[in-house]
Structure 1
Amino acid sequence: MTKQKLLIKNAAVWTGDPDRPTSNAVLVEDGVIVAIGNEATDTGSDASEVIDAAGASVIPAFAEGHAHPIFAGLEQQFAKVRGHGTVAGIADAVAKFAADNPDIEWILGLGYDPSLVPDGCFDAKWLDTAVRDRPVALRATDYHTVWCNTKALELAGITSETPQPENGEIVHRPDGTPMGTLREWGATDLIFNMLPPISIEQKMDAIRWSSRRYIEAGVVFVQDAWVEPDDLEAYLQLARGNELELRYNLAFTAQPSEYRNQLQLFIDQRSVVRSVGSPFLGAETVKIFVDGVIEAGTAALLEPYHDCPGSHGIPNWSIEDLTAAVTAFDAAGFQLHLHAIGDKAIRMALDAVEVVQTENGVRDRRPTIAHSQLIDPSDLARFAELGVIANFEPLWAQQDSLQSILTMPRLGQERGNSQYPIATLLRGGARVSFGSDWPVSDHRPLPGIAVAVTRQTKADFPEGGWMPSERLSLPEALACYCSGTAYQAFLDDSMGQIAVGMSADLIVLDRNIFEIPSKEIGEVEVITTLVKGRVVHSTK
């Protein structure tokens, strides 16, 4: 059988390999890199396909360390509440969707901006102006907060007499009535438990849509960091039909009240995924939300919130249950993926991993703490010591409106200026991976890489960067989004670098990324994406 050869020439190749960081050409045979540099051009003269990069960058394809592709796709199917700069704009979008869909029982929307009002507290009355006769439930961009109308509160039985739930908060007006803002699962599930189920077909369409957006952005691996039991079938049907365009690893979400029963369920679901035998689908991870988010006041902090001295936030787990859960899931061979944002939650996660290593012994487990936003200085060295991967969403490491309106007032200036210590961890020997948390924020890696390098907003604020000592070099930032996440995914032996023997997961950019000002990195476009040597996206 004739081998399929593809040659990329006239390229500014960044390999990600410290021993040979740059080159000018790449030769691929049957999906595997077989030569780079002059050897590639010399032996690739008979290639059946040639890509002339015309001096632009060719780099390893990106790997997404933490995202929610089903949610991203479902946003397109519901009320378009993202991107509006006013409460009235959101209400108008809800009213339009309701008018266009008169037979839908619940009006749903995903991704409204919680920074539009003080403290992120939205009133049900504002949605009542749009829809009164049907329930409305909207998720904020943080996906930890819900804004609903009066009809939804009534159907859920939420009144001024409803006790505050464990692991959640019902926000009240000054007169004691429920306002319409609910925070964390203990409260939001009062609404979500009322919703009609989303169909498998809707979820499959959501994954298809998100996959295409990822491919266009040069992403070829995604860690889906929030998979419920009834989400799995959508992935399975796509895998069986050979419809997945990129690699997915699924993280089953464990709950504090259910994890003992969930253990066998997750083992069984993992076995089903393995039996499909798709190279594009795995289910080797368990996700645990250790806490919430700072902006909602639900991230777990060691010291009280600056704007609410009586509150340390809301840990979703007791340390006893967290330790028992992660020990059990690890013993079953699952990788741990721990959402931890506040410094108390991060310490809880590190403490639990330390117990796991003592109880379950040595193995290549690669536990990951997602977001790693606020870390107590005494815990920084523990990431490297315990082999814990710090997953960051680099786009968040800028002083944007979310920081200035919600985050910094919660933390205060001194504590706020210690967020996202990416360079400190990386240069201290810890493994670092990057992700986007899409649809919480932009799925495209290049805008995030620009922030990692500059620590600035698009308006170049602040001068010199926010916490400039935490700025990364461009090679460091690229590595976090390529080999760093490949390591998290246990794929570092096959992707994340351009080297002989590696899978040909590559992207061609529209310019040489190393020859432009750092602030322009976010404007760079991906013009070609290759998955295992096959061109799956091209703008030419």
Structure 2
Amino acid sequence: MRHATLEPARERPLAPARRGALTTLGLLATLAAGACGTSVPAPAADVLITNATVWTVDPDQPRAEAIAIIGARIVAVGSNDEIAAWQGPDTSVVDGAGQLVLPGFNDAHIHLMQAGRRLLNGQLAEAASPEARRPAAELALAHAARLGVTSATDMGTTAEDAALFMELAAEDALTLRLYLAPMETDWQDQANVGIRRGFGSAFLRLGALKGYVDGTLQSSTALFFEPYGDAPGSTGMLTEEFTPFEDARTRLSSADASGLQIALHAVGDRGVSMALDLYEELSAVDPTRDRRLRIEHAQHLVDADFDRLAELEVVASVQPYQAIDDGRWAEERIGSERARGSYAYQTLLDRGARLALGTDWDAGPLDPMLTLHAAVTRATLDGWHPDGWMPAQKLTLEDAVEAYTLGSAYAEFQESEKGSVTVGKLADLVMLDADIFASDPRDLPTVGVVMTVVGGRVVYTTR
């Protein structure tokens, strides 16, 4: 069993720096007790989850039966008998009844307020009135909790959105940990006040930037080296934001020098290659710096760029649902040969790249079960590829879950804080009503969430 000695429960999460001090104090107390011939009993946990099937995403302890939580953090992971030692008179005990417990899902790419407005207004995502902004955000947060999503990176966050999230955080009303990535054209707003990547609290952080290199395959604006098969006069286009490219290079070089993390939307193979060219230039300046540059979508790559992406340690932030959506018609647009390097998640892993999974909600559904189903089956939405479109690119379920938890945490510099069921990490968990590792992958869309826990607090339950 793995355990840590932490101070008694608090309503707010323990700060990372303080947690290191507590670990040291716990070790000293244990040594002192050993010298006196006595033992130090475990403090009582606030919450125990027992009789569960825990898939930890921690290679040092892959499976467990039970978890102990104090405050916002995990203090022990082990067998039922081992975790029973943490029970006290006031401990809340959750009987897992054999159900599967995973780290909470971390969506690497969403648009929260746009999604909230759509939930509030049906299919209309127009700008909400000031009075409707908070209800839209609350609907989006509740939807995420119902689906077991406990963290997300919000792309293209506006100043008004950030102010609302700060208001919710101040009221302890956030049930989703958010990493905000405003537009890169406004990089000075963060840099001028000294914000760097990952700045903020456990629930709300800034320090990232979102940019658009090219457009989309569907609109024929994704930028390719060769013309579209169904539009031979076009290879796509750079966005206005990246025209001329030299201006974007200058702007992003300054943003990078200020310590901000850059995440660029790049879809076509030439768009991805140009993003990698830029990242190669940035990385040549202080090459030892941990930048975790990101390419959002990374849908189409020429073969050489799979290796280059891995060598530059760029995070591929991908959305598998787009593969089963676009796979219905992508070959008509770009041909079978180029399609073999499209949505190539297994090739990315094989070449050594890091994956972070997400949905682009509300452009795609937020439900992690639909994302996992897309990643492991690649069965297109039209039913024409039941065994998978480009089946060599299917991910294993284990790899997909890891990319959706620990991979997305890494993409936001938070792998030491969340992404696995590990002692000392935040107690962000999801309990499912079926063991997805023991089920037919085709049944993933039918799997539901029984309970979602964020920082040791139940934010959704069907019980």
Normalising to structure 2: TM-score of the pair?
0.85
Q: Does the CA-based 8 Å contact 1:346-1:369 persist in structure 2?
A: yes
1:296 to 205, 214, 219: 219
Structure 1 pair 301–213 and aligned structure 2 pair: CA distance change class (3 A): same
Q: Deviations over 1:77-122 (max 9, x none)?
A: 44x44xxxxxxxxxxxxxxxxxxxxxxxxxxx34xxxxxxxxxxxx
> Does the 8 Å CA contact 1:458/1:519 hold for their aligned counterparts?
no
Q: How many residues align?
A: 417
Instruction: Tell whether 2:416 aligns with 1:493.
Output: yes
Who is 1:306 aligned against? 229
Residue in structure 1 matched with residue 318 of structure 2 by the alignment: 392
1:221 corresponds to 2:147: no
Asked whether the 8 Å contact 1:372–1:392 carries over to 2, the reply is yes
5 Å matches for 1:118-133?
Answer: none
When residues 274 and 315 of structure 1 are mapped into structure 2, their CA distance, relative to the original with a 3 A threshold, is closer
Contact 1:270 1:283 in 2 (8 A): no
- SS in structure 1 at match of 2:285: helix
Q: Which amino acid aligns with 2:134?
A: M
CA deviation profile, 1:309-365 (whole Å, cap 9, x unmatched): 111111111332232222111111110010001111100110101101113543111
Question: Which residue does the alignment assign to 1:322?
Answer: 248
Runs of 4+ in 1 over 6 A off after TM superposition: 272-275
Instruction: Flag structure 2 segments of 5+ consecutive residues without an equivalent.
Output: 1-7, 10-43
Query: Which of the numbers 448, 451, 461 marks the counterpart of 2:371?
Result: 448
Aligned to 2:60: 19
Q: CA deviation at 1:28?
A: 1.4
What's 2:204 paired with? 281
Paired with 2:269 and 2:279, the residues of 1 have a C-alpha distance of: 15
In structure 2, the partner of 1:10 is: 51
* TM-score using structure 1 length: 0.73
The CA distance in 1 between the partners of 2:385 and 2:196, in whole Å, is: 50
CA RMSD across the alignment: 2.3
Percent of aligned pairs with the same residue? 35
Shift of 1:199: 3.9
**What's the offset of the Cα at 1:387?**
0.8
Alignment of 1:336-485 (within 5 A): 336-398=262-324, 400=325, 402-405=326-329, 407-457=330-380, 461-485=384-408
Q: Deviations over 1:113-172 (max 9, x none)?
A: xxxxxxxxxxxxxxxxxxxxxxxxx8xxxxxxxxxxxxxxxxxxxxxxxxxxxxxxxxxx
Query: What one-letter code is carried by the residue in structure 1 that aligns with 2:112?
Result: P
Q: Deviations over 1:41-96 (max 9, x none)?
A: 33134361111111111111010100101100111344x44xxxxxxxxxxxxxxx
Letter in structure 2 aligned against 1:29: I
Aligned-pair CA distance for 1:14: 0.5
Is the partner of 2:370 in helix, strand or coil? helix
Report the CA distance between 1:378 and its aligned residue. Answer: 1.1
Residue of structure 1 equivalent to 2:84: 42
Per mean C-alpha deviation after superposition, the further-off stretch among 359-368 and 376-385 is 359-368
For the Cα contact (< 8 Å) 2:214–2:266, is it kept in 1? yes
Q: 1:270 to 1:77 in 2, by over 3 A?
A: farther
Evaluate the alpha carbon distance shift between residue 236 and residue 5 of structure 1 in structure 2; reply closer, same or farther with a 3 A threshold. closer
Which residue is 2:114 aligned to? 71
> Secondary structure at 2:183's aligned position in 1?
strand
CA separation in 1, counterparts of 2:176 and 2:295?
24
Preserved contact between residue 303 and residue 341 of structure 2 (Cα < 8 Å) = no
Q: Given that residues 191 and 255 in structure 2 are in contact (C-alpha distance below 8 angstroms), is that contact kept between their aligned partners in structure 1?
A: no
Structure 1 residue aligned with 2:176: 246
Letter in 2 for 1:66: H
Q: Distance in 2 between matches of 1:270 and 1:51?
A: 43
| Secondary structure in 2 matching 1:404 | coil
* Counterpart position of 1:510: 433
Counterparts of 2:220 and 2:113 in 1: how far apart (Å)?
26
